[in-house]
Chains A and B, each alone.
Chain A
Amino acid sequence: MKVLPISLLSLLLAATALVSLSLGKYPLAPGEVAGFLGHRLFGWGTFDAERLQLLENLVMEIRLPRIMAAALIGAALAVSGAAYQALFVNPLVSPGILGVLAGASLGAALGLVFLKTWYGVQAATFLGGFAAVGLAMGIARLCRVNSTVMLVLGGIISGAFFSALVAIVKYVSDPYNQLPAIVYWLMGNMAMADQGMTLKAGIPILVGIACLMLMARHLNVLSMGDEEARALGVNVEAVRLTVIVCATLISTLTVVLAGIIGWVGLIIPHITRMITGPDNETLLPATALAGASYLLLVDDISRLAFTFEIPIGIVTALIGIPFFVLVLKNARKGWL
């Protein structure tokens, strides 16, 4: 693990988090927010009681839960994207492209309509995402061409299939209450992530990220091909299944928290890989920090660029799509 890029990215995340806590309809000075956090956590300095109440309300209750959710989602999407890319030896895959997000949204939509409990929705979301990545892999394998493009196509087909099923759920759902909820949420929306949900989803997300980081060395070996990995003593099937389960779990949990936020899982691992190199022992923690910082920034844009809030999924797509074109252009150079 390289320490320098990790420390720099940690600083970046701290700075972005501080700026994001300061920005809002009622702007605060980042210095004041830092001072307040110091006071709150360590009892440093003194604050006027009235001001303290305002800051408590604004920073701790309104802004912090959302910022934690954004950071968790960004980290989860980036780490799962990097893990899928290493696992499939394919720089063009991500939770979005493999259809995981579409499958998860079907699970979540069904869960919202029929199960209604939070754990029910979470389980249905995971199963939907897992089914989608399975379908994408199945299509790629069925065509017996073991190429980068086939898996991407398999993911597109799988994503389209699950999107069609989501459309059925939308069609049969109650048009006054359920339909707007589903549509609004599928756009990718941070406004629904409240404190309780963030905590409930946050713990399994952190556990999933930690598991993937612990398997970084195995991911490196797996990306050299199955046979080499086996000859190096790796139980390929078990490791692959664990990686798919962890990566799918954390990316589907982001769908539970905030709907479909595409492109983060594709572009952030690429940008990070340019800085740190492809060694997953460094790449995974680095991409988690970069993904968290990126989503905080994008969330600031979606909150503040206009007088109304734009769904964050739309902003990540608008930024991500031109970047994806660059990735495709460079894909033949060394990443493949």
Chain B
Amino acid sequence: MALLRLERLSFAYHRSEALADVDLSMEQGEVLALLGPNGSGKTTLLKLILGLLKPSRGSVHLHGRDIRTIPRRELARMVAYVPQVHKESFAYRVCDVVLMGRLPHSAFFARYSENDRLIAGEALERLGIGHLAERPYTEVSGGERQLALIARAMAQGARTLVMDEPTNGLDYGNQLRLLERLKALAGAGYTVIFSTHHPDHAMAVADRVVMMHQGRVIRDGAASETMTPQALQELYSVDVRLYCVAKGVQVCVPAVRLGNNSREHEENGHHVGSR
């Protein structure tokens, strides 16, 4: 049985259709990247999976159950949301933010237990930010904040992580460090679905790429098969080339970088687009 199954999933904001008839299913341990231009419905899709939006048609099934029938607290123990790093917040300590992940595990009026604090501390250590526990969340770097939000998702105990542009707003080094963490999570058995604007990031960590355009899935398959220059050109309406820089490692280069000498490069490099 698929872990996550979307059937003819549709959603409309004020009558304008944001998502139309999306069918998708994911297995446990898969890392799926969502690619698509702005407004293509990536975020809407993620929010539907989290149960933050109600589908106007179709359904989301998790472990075979329609998520509309799963109580919110129980759902929170199954799927965790790693939102984009936000700016507006009070200066909670990093460990307090991670501790929030334990909320769905305790009674309404209870306090966090020692065990909750232990689990939160472990999550911080696993992401290598244990030393930041006492620092104000608003004063650590964007990359560290994103790691804290991932730690919170892990403390939440959910095995499926939904991430909205996790590398957005991070500097280059932090983007790469975050991708490494993502890969490690997948290795540890987490199922990850994330949206991104970087084809390279999708190729670096995703097993599977889903391309979205105007609320529809236009391509869905293994990263190596779906990521073709034609597909990316179609998706973003720009000219890009893909190069193979090592065995199984591809990079995406915008054609504008190649200037008039692009043909020459194609001859020298291994241009995988013209297979």
Contacts and interface: CB of A to CB of B under 8 A. Distances in A.
Given A230-B72, A334-B91, 7 more contacts: A217-B103, A220-B92, A227-B81, A228-B83, A230-B50, A233-B72, A334-B139
B76 A232 contact: yes
Contacts of B112: 217
**Top 5 nearest A-B pairs by Cβ distance?**
A233-B76, A233-B104, A231-B81, A278-B90, A233-B73
Interface residues of B, number: 35
Interface in A41-86: 86
Most buried by B among A89, A148, A220, A224: A224
B90 A86 contact: yes
Contacts of B246: none
Given A230-B52, A231-B50, A214 B76 contact: no
A279 interface: yes
Interface of B: 47, 50-52, 72-77, 79-81, 83, 86, 88-93, 96-97, 100-101, 103-104, 108-109, 111-112, 136, 138-139, 156
B69 to A, nearest CB: 15
Contacts of B77: 233
A128 B108 CA distance: 30
Contacts of B50: 227, 230-231
Contact of B103 (A1, A91, A233, A278): A233
A91 B101 CA distance: 24
B92 to A, nearest CB: 6
Contacts of A184: none
A232 B100 contact: yes
A228 B85 CA distance: 11
Contact of A335 (B90, B108, B111): B90
A208 to B, nearest CB: 15
28 contacts: A1-B111, A86-B90, A89-B89, A215-B109, A218-B103, A220-B96, A223-B89, A224-B97, A227-B81, A228-B81, A231-B50, A231-B52, A231-B80, A231-B83, A232-B101, A232-B103, A232-B156, A233-B73, A233-B75, A233-B77, A233-B104, A273-B90, A277-B91, A278-B90, A279-B92, A279-B93, A281-B111, A335-B90
A279 B47 CA distance: 28
A277 B93 contact: yes
A326 B93 CA distance: 24
Contacts of B72: 230, 233-235
A227 B47 contact: yes
Nearest to A146: B88
Q: Is the interface of B mostly helix, strand, loop or mixed?
A: mixed
Contact of B92 (A214, A277, A336): A277
Nearest to B71: A233
A86 B96 CA distance: 15
A214 B109 contact: yes
A225 interface: yes
Interface in A142-187: 148
Interface string A193-219: 000000000000000000000110110
Contact of A278 (B47, B79, B91, B111): B91
Contact of A89 (B73, B83, B88, B104): B88
Nearest to A283: B90
A77 B50 CA distance: 37
A249 B72 CA distance: 28
B162 to A, nearest CB: 8
